[in-house]
Amino acid sequence: MRGTTPHNARRPRKVVTAATVSVAVGALLSALAPLPAAGATTPDEPDAPLQRAFTEAAERYHVPESVLMAVAYMESRWDTHRGLPSVTAGYGPMHLTDARTALADFPRRGDGGDDPRGDVGRPLVDVGLPAVDTRALPSTLTTLERAASLTGLSAGQLREDPAANVAGGAALLAQAQKSLGATPSSDPARWYGAVARYSGADDTATAAVFADDVFQVVREGATRTTDDGETLVLEAHAGLAPDTAQLRSLGLRTVAADGTECPRTIACEWLPAPYEEYGTGDYGNHDLADRPHSQKIDYIVVHDTEATWDTTLQLVQKPDYLAWHYSIRSADGHVDQHVKTKDVGWHAGNWYVNAKSVGIEHEGFLTDPGTWYTEAMYRASARLVRYLAARYGIPLDRQHILGHDNVPGPTAANIPGMHTDPGPYWDWAHYFRLLGAPFGPTAGPDSALVTIAPEYVSNRPLYTGCATAGDTCPSRGSAAVRLYTEPREDAPLVKDVGLHGEAPSTTGVNDTGARASTGQQFAVAERRGEWTAIWYLGQKAWFHDPRAHRTAVPATGWVVTPKEGRADVPVYGRAYPEAAAYPAGVPVQADSPLPYRLPAGQSYAVGQVTRGEYYRAVTFDASQHVVVRGKQRYYEIQFGHRVAWVKAEDVTLRPSWARLSPAGTSPRGGA
């Protein structure tokens, strides 16, 4: 868990670290079929090597080309990733896994030692995370070895050569077909069982979801320009009805879905985290609550893990470890639920956010490179998030659907240890298209507010520290935009005084101090040529924004600025009540402003308005838990890469398009 579970730091006791509405797959596919990029090759052009590779591998291994391409689409969306592994050690378009090599090339490293519970009300204990035993890896993490045996190709070829990788995937599909006693066939409908087996799922529900998605891709067709600039086309096979009865011959287990809170469009299993006492007066690994009756659920937090699937499930079942609400498996999108959404998980490193959020962990143990995530995982996650957002009235925007790296430190002391998952390589634009809430312009070109929206594949800022400190990370697409003190790329990066004091931020892959991420909104401070400046952490921050290839789009929304007469106002990492709101027996939680100020003349995008709350939960007996509600109103703002809060009494709220107009009605929350 690149941010969820540090490995080189003493581990506090709480957290691994680190959509009811179903998304019609046809709609998803239309959202995922961009027009060919300038200079991209198409199947009709002479240089279309990956399209040819699918044709040749399909012929050699007697697999229908449409099935082969659709499986690859579900694994990688046909991207080659230039030989880099996914977060679960999958290589190439077919996601052939080789965990031993991936872990050797990108060893696990931690990014901090925060308290994932984020509350000083309870003592912590150290919890260690076991190392990955590469001698006993599950078969799902070693499929490249089987592909090498079947094809006679070397492991290096299968990892680095896209055509070889496609051949390896075709060989595995053909082997799966043979293992079911079926003969090779040119009819795609007869390959349902083999596709389900390719998923690696050990239960019928997950295998069926994966196979259903693959065959929906076959029926609908797809067109996409890959990260190598080649445009691939899968023609639609409308009306294709696969033989789903083949699923019964796989001998897979039946998932125990009873008790889960999931949409029907994903495979979901109940694997409870223990709520029990241990030791002397301690308990774990989450807190009972009665949300949303006791407290409104405002956020969903996206994490990645730093462990294999089996290890992740073992850890969440330890009472002396940490618990989150859901885990999602990379290879096939299988979901396990561990904590009821009414209860509070220990996952985000900020107790205020924990008390008002649902935490979702995504399997991945290569978080330092943070390379890429499978389409199966993205889709399962998006379906779960959309379901939860509809159930609890959570807006589908970047101030409510947070990465763990967007959660602020609750106090100044916590800032350096806050986690950085899922990192700059999580494709937020793709994720929000799957959620049905894509980022696009909502204002004219001279808007006072912008939404960060670079083109993921071509946006490739340099990062360092992926494998070893100071190294240069491999070039790959990123959702993040780098921020400078001047409109030039050789200028120093902006400062994050909470992380670095007065020193500039760095290009480190885990340094969030000069980073704006896709979907986040910021007020425009200035425009100059091909550069745009935004207000960020109390300073003017510049990013390259050429007219031909915008990295941000015009937006409208609500912003806050300090009240007239104030030179600056404090910024907070949590929205706790005023002292007078605490009843007898409940210690008053300090205001604890962060080491940042919001200066006069600067504006920041508002996510919602809320009243201060504190959930007092320090005992095993949930009847003694108390929700403290105050009168103090706060605005959640996008202050830097992480969100923050300001007190309503300190600022003026106004629409972004009316720079000098008086405040209007509340944007969200209504508190």
Mark whether 65 and 50 lie in a shared domain: yes
pLDDT tens figures, 153-201: 999 999 999 999 999 999 999 999 999 999 999 999 999 999 999 999 9
In a domain, 608, yes or no: yes
Mark whether 152 and 67 lie in a shared domain: yes
Task: Give CA–CA dist 210/334, Å, rounded.
Answer: 9
The least confident of 33-47, 104-118, 497-511 is: 33-47
Q: Would you say residue 222 has pLDDT above 80?
A: yes
Cα distances (angstroms) measured from residue 24 to each of 27, 226, 434, 607: 5, 23, 9, 28
Which residue range(s) make up the domain with 473? 439-555
Task: Give CA–CA dist 550/546, Å, rounded.
Answer: 5
pLDDT tens figures, 575-633: 999 999 999 999 999 989 999 999 999 999 999 999 999 999 999 999 999 999 999 99
**Tokens of residue 545, six digits:** 């924004």
What's the number of domains the chain is made of? 3
Eight-class DSSP state of 266: S
* pLDDT score at 669: 62
Mark whether 85 and 47 lie in a shared domain: yes
Helix (H, G, I), strand (E, B), or coil: what is residue 570? strand
Percent over 70 (pLDDT), the chain: 88
**CA quadruple 576, 582, 586, 592: dihedral positive or negative?**
positive
In a domain, 208, yes or no: yes
* pLDDT score at 43: 53
Check: CB of residue 317 under 8 Å from CB of residue 375.
no
pLDDT tens figures, 346-400: 999 999 999 999 999 999 887 777 789 999 999 999 999 999 999 999 999 999 9
Mark whether 66 and 52 lie in a shared domain: yes
Q: How far out from the chain centre does Cα 373 lie? A: 9
Task: Give CA–CA dist 480/509, Å, rounded.
Answer: 11
In a domain, 205, yes or no: yes
541 bridge partner residues: 534
Count of C-beta atoms within a 10 Å radius of residue 148: 21
Task: Give CA–CA dist 565/628, Å, rounded.
Answer: 32
Look-up of token digits 């540090």: 6
Euclidean distance between the first and final Cα of the chain, in Å?
36
Kindly state the average pLDDT of the residues 323-329. 96
In a domain, 64, yes or no: yes
Task: Give CA–CA dist 297/290, Å, rounded.
Answer: 11
Mark whether 74 and 191 lie in a shared domain: yes
In a domain, 621, yes or no: yes
In a domain, 306, yes or no: no
Mark whether 192 and 136 lie in a shared domain: yes
Count of C-beta atoms within a 10 Å radius of residue 178: 12
Mark whether 496 and 610 lie in a shared domain: no
The least confident of 109-113, 323-327, 638-642 is: 109-113
333: nearest Cα among 212, 170, 433, 222? 212
Mark whether 38 and 180 lie in a shared domain: yes
From 250, 284, 312, the end of a domain falls on: 250
Q: Would you say residue 646 has pLDDT above 70?
A: yes
Mark whether 135 and 81 lie in a shared domain: yes
* pLDDT score at 284: 86
Mark whether 515 and 594 lie in a shared domain: no
pLDDT tens figures, 232-290: 999 999 999 999 999 999 999 998 788 899 999 999 999 999 999 987 778 989 999 99
From 191, 221, 250, the end of a domain falls on: 250
Mark whether 218 and 239 lie in a shared domain: yes
In a domain, 36, yes or no: yes
Provide the CATH number for the domain around residue 33. 1.10.530.10
3-state helix, strand, coil in the chain (%, to 5): 25, 20, 50
In a domain, 301, yes or no: no
From 513, 530, 555, the end of a domain falls on: 555
Mark whether 484 and 618 lie in a shared domain: no
171: nearest Cα among 61, 33, 274? 61
